[in-house]
Amino acid sequence: MWSLAGIALALDTWLHANFQTGIALLIEFVIIGILCISLFAVLGLVLVLMERKVSAFMQIRLGPNRVGPKGTLQTLADTLKLLSKEGLTPAGADKFLFNLAPFVVMIAAMLLLAPIAFAKDFQLWDLNIGVLYLTAISSIAVIGILIAGWSSNNKYSLLGAMRSGAQIVSYELSAGLSILTVVILAGSLQISEIINSQQNGWWIFKGHIPALISFVIFIIAVTAETNRAPFDLAEAESELTAGFHTEYSGMKFALFFLAEYINIFIVCAIGSILFLGGWMPFHIGNWSSFNTVMDYIPSSVWFFGKTFFLIFVIMWFRWTFPRLRIDQLLNLEWKYLLPIGMVNLLLAALVGIMGWHF
């Protein structure tokens, strides 16, 4: 069947047949870079439109419906508007750090794409510590946010950045514990091995109670890590104007805006890989006929379908729950999620050692 892996293999074969090994490898690197940037651009357009349509659905209204067929080109019009705006730098700002911050956030997001398996045998870098790599690199983005807040020379920006730093560092602990639960059950840190361990069932189903609790904690924690409502204290409009990117305009603001949605996609992709099997089709035991039908659906469709389902859930949160206060946000993490996550990790270790999972 048609597959992304087949296309990649055919291109690799053609390049090595027509160019020297070093040049072929360089061309492949350039193609990968262009594809990553293109994916970022397309995801930005799609996810912003999806956000508006989901919010409209929740509030029983139409949403964007003027530019393009049923408003589908509205985000493209917004992008052109941001490209045409002048990028201003405040007089008292640290100009170097002010201009560097958006790129730090975007580079961190791009690095996170490396170990993610978009389809069967279609992965940029299948390193044996893929989960550790993801948790380590995801911590870099907060540095860009702190740089942006401090360098802007604005009290609202600084306050938003400090809130974001406290929030991300706190909720990273719960997210890490929920990821470790799956690592224990799968017995590997390698992304491909974790996906292959779900051939006979996704971990959210066969991991029993520990996997289900970890999934709930993971969704809550990554919602907070991406500064999404109801955890959007870092850019609370009613308190801090626009938070850490108050002073940004034009393309620098667009990079922050884009990075937020790219990070949502990445954390949901990680969630789908760990708990929902990634590109792995939905199989039920010995139902060979049913499983064969599921295998006809391309692996990339499974991956993006699961990822966009989780994105919808996170967007659902935004239009359902009110914004928390900063003390409520930190209490939720340190008094509830972290202790529950630690006990759940012990329970997962017991399930893994005893082999009680399916």
Residue 164's pLDDT is 84
Residue 243's pLDDT is 74
Average pLDDT over residues 126-147: 89
CB 221 within 8 A of CB 195: no
Q: Is the pLDDT of residue 155 over 90?
A: no
* Distance, C-alpha 95 to centroid of its chain: 29
Helix (H) or strand (E) holding 122: strand 122-123
**Is residue 153 very low, low, confident or very high in pLDDT (cuts 50, 70, 90)?**
confident
From the list 173, 124, 146, 182, the residue with the least C-alpha distance to 4 is 124
In a domain, 30, yes or no: no
* Distance, C-alpha 132 to centroid of its chain: 15
Q: Is the pLDDT of residue 146 over 80?
A: yes
pLDDT digits (tens, 9 = 90+) for 161-202: 888 888 888 899 999 999 999 999 998 999 999 999 888 888
CB 254 within 8 A of CB 262: no
How many beta carbons lie within 10 A of that of residue 320, not counting itself? 10
CB 206 within 8 A of CB 355: no
Number of independent structural domains in the chain: 1
Determine the Cα–Cα distance for residues 317 and 348; give it in Å rounded to an integer.
27
Residue 239's pLDDT is 67
pLDDT digits (tens, 9 = 90+) for 37-75: 899 889 989 999 999 999 999 888 988 888 888 888 988
In a domain, 18, yes or no: no
Question: What is the domain range of residue 153?
Answer: 86-354
In a domain, 189, yes or no: yes
Q: Is the pLDDT of residue 273 over 90?
A: yes
In a domain, 10, yes or no: no
Determine the Cα–Cα distance for residues 325 and 329; give it in Å rounded to an integer.
6
From the list 228, 193, 204, 226, the residue with the least C-alpha distance to 324 is 228
pLDDT digits (tens, 9 = 90+) for 199-258: 888 889 888 889 999 999 999 999 998 888 788 877 766 666 777 888 888 888 888 888
Residue 2's pLDDT is 56
Q: Is the pLDDT of residue 31 over 60?
A: yes
- Pick the residue with more confidence: 354 or 304? 304
In a domain, 68, yes or no: no
Residue 82's pLDDT is 84
**SS3 track for 298-328:** CHHHHHHHHHHHHHHHHHHHHCCCCCCCHHH
Full-model pTM: 0.91
DSSP for residue 56: H
Q: Is the pLDDT of residue 133 over 70?
A: yes
- What is the largest distance, in Å, between two alpha-carbon atoms of the chain? 68
User: What phi and psi values does residue 117 have, to the nearest 5 degrees?
Assistant: -90, 110
In a domain, 53, yes or no: no
Helix (H) or strand (E) holding 229: none
DSSP for residue 233: G
Determine the Cα–Cα distance for residues 181 and 195; give it in Å rounded to an integer.
14
Average pLDDT over residues 10-22: 88
**Is residue 357 very low, low, confident or very high in pLDDT (cuts 50, 70, 90)?**
low
Q: Is the pLDDT of residue 33 over 70?
A: yes
How many beta carbons lie within 10 A of that of residue 87, not counting itself? 13
Average pLDDT over residues 95-115: 90
Q: In Å, how far are 89, 129, 247 from 158, measured between CA atoms?
A: 16, 35, 11
User: What phi and psi values does residue 118 have, to the nearest 5 degrees?
Assistant: -80, -20
In a domain, 324, yes or no: yes
How many beta carbons lie within 10 A of that of residue 285, not counting itself? 10
Average pLDDT over residues 294-309: 91
Tokens 């069947």, located at residue: 1
Instruction: Give the HSE-up count for residue 12: Cα atoms under 13 Å, Cβ half-sphere.
Output: 10
CB 210 within 8 A of CB 349: no
**CA-derived radius of gyration, the chain:** 21
Determine the Cα–Cα distance for residues 165 and 169; give it in Å rounded to an integer.
6
**Is residue 304 very low, low, confident or very high in pLDDT (cuts 50, 70, 90)?**
very high
Residue 358's pLDDT is 61
25 contacts: CB under 8 Å, gap ≥ 6: none
Tokens 């204290």, located at residue: 233
Q: Is the pLDDT of residue 1 over 70?
A: no
In a domain, 278, yes or no: yes
Determine the Cα–Cα distance for residues 213 and 207; give it in Å rounded to an integer.
10
Residue 237's pLDDT is 67
